[in-house]
Amino acid sequence: MKREDFLSKPVTHMKLKPNMTVNQIVQQFKNSGSFGAGRLATACDVYENMVRDEKCTVFLALAGAMVPAGLRATLSDLIRKRLIDALVSTGANMVHDLIEALGGRHYQGHWQVDDYLLYKYHIYRIYDVFVPEEDFIKADETLIKMFDEIATKIQGKRLSTNQLMWEVGKRLKDPSSIVRSAYEAKVPIFLPAMRDSEFAYIHTVHQARSNPAKALTVDAFKEVPELLDIASHSERLGMIVLGGGVPRNSVQHAALMTGKGLDYAVVITTDRPEPGGLSGSTIEETISWGKVKHKANKVMVIGDALICFPVMVASVMERLGPNFRRKGNP
């Protein structure tokens, strides 16, 4: 590269006006092209490219307490509009979706609070979100009975996490529920770390109530060929990551195992690469494994996913317009 190549694109200063739309603000971020603003603007472009690419299957990898904190309706809408094709999530996020689907709520709280006082009142804290214990318990009660019913219906058949989520979704009424929306839209939900959530407790009590031979069996490995099948039938692969962890690597691993590599990647996280954990690993590091293609359309945004993701989605929805329809892949 020559010297002038480094100096080809000046920073254009942001101009903010009253009544700007989300996408107009994102365009100002793009004009700056710097720091988090520049990366977020690039993320919007990458996501727009993903959904406009008719041959691309869009995976959303979801970790962190995004659902309790207010992303539930957004994710449900994305599923119904087929702006994502498959959800790979922590078990906990789906548990929190089900808590609300079954009548519970999450409450705005504060991070500076006497946690022992919360304990005495049977209230759980997720940073500054509060959940009353009874809402967990009532969801547990319904889900355990649902597990009993599903076990009776399937008669010893082993289910993948996705099959179980669709069975649960089938039994819900709440149209805002992620699990219900996924069932209706036939969008798979994979929970690669399902047992690391309230589902473990729900299954344990279900098992205690049942004849052990007739208890529900969820096969953790059964989702792997299902995930690979989707990846192998997709011409191109896209991934949006909120947080990281097991959901992120499950998607990346499917891209690797099918020998395809991801064509598009947006990673939104606050994690750092230096400790060597997957959540903070750079997309470039992922390229070394063959999980993301060298020439992929990609960006990593270091920021709070609860801020960045809704901005990205709102900006892209604005670009797509109200009449945009996506059939979904594969």
Tokens read off for 257:
């195992």
Q: Which stretch binds other proteins (CB under 8 A): 41-49, 154-162, 205-213, 257-265?
A: 205-213
**Catalytic (active site) residue 214:** no
Q: Which stretch binds other proteins (CB under 8 A): 46-54, 136-144, 183-191, 270-278?
A: 136-144
Q: Which of 205, 215, 224, 278 binds other proteins (CB under 8 A)?
A: 205
| Spatial CA neighbour of 62 closest among 52, 71, 53 | 71
Catalytic residue among 260, 291, 293, 298: 291
Nearer to other proteins, 141 or 284 (CB): 141
Which secondary structure element, helix H or strand E, spans residue 305, and what is its range?
helix 305-320
The neighbouring-strand residues paired with 190 are 88
Minimum distance between the CB of residue 107 and other proteins, rounded to whole angstroms?
13
Please report whether residue 122 would count as binding other proteins according to CB under 8 A: yes
Task: Indicate the DSSP class of residue 194.
Answer: T
Minimum distance between the CB of residue 229 and other proteins, rounded to whole angstroms?
37
Please report whether residue 209 would count as binding other proteins according to CB under 8 A: yes
Task: Indicate the DSSP class of residue 21.
Answer: -
Q: Which amino acid is at 285?
A: E
Please report whether residue 113 would count as binding other proteins according to CB under 8 A: no
Please report whether residue 115 would count as binding other proteins according to CB under 8 A: no
Minimum distance between the CB of residue 203 and other proteins, rounded to whole angstroms?
13
Q: Which of 138, 195, 222, 326 binds other proteins (CB under 8 A)?
A: 138
Please report whether residue 214 would count as binding other proteins according to CB under 8 A: no
Nearer to other proteins, 104 or 290 (CB): 104
Cβ-in-10-Å burial (0-12, 13-18, 19+) of 14 comes to: middle
| Spatial CA neighbour of 191 closest among 62, 97, 284, 31 | 62
Query: Do strands 129-132 and 107-108 pair parallel, antiparallel, or not at all (unpaired)?
Result: antiparallel
Please report whether residue 200 would count as binding other proteins according to CB under 8 A: no
Query: Do strands 123-126 and 86-89 pair parallel, antiparallel, or not at all (unpaired)?
Result: unpaired
Q: Give the whole-angstrom CA distance, residue 13 versus residue 46.
A: 22
Q: Give the whole-angstrom CA distance, residue 50 versus residue 38.
A: 18
Q: Which of 35, 107, 119, 127 binds other proteins (CB under 8 A)?
A: 119
What does the binding site for other proteins look like in residue numbers (CB under 8 A)?
A: 116, 119-122, 132-134, 137-138, 141, 144, 205, 208-209
Residues recognised as catalytic: 291
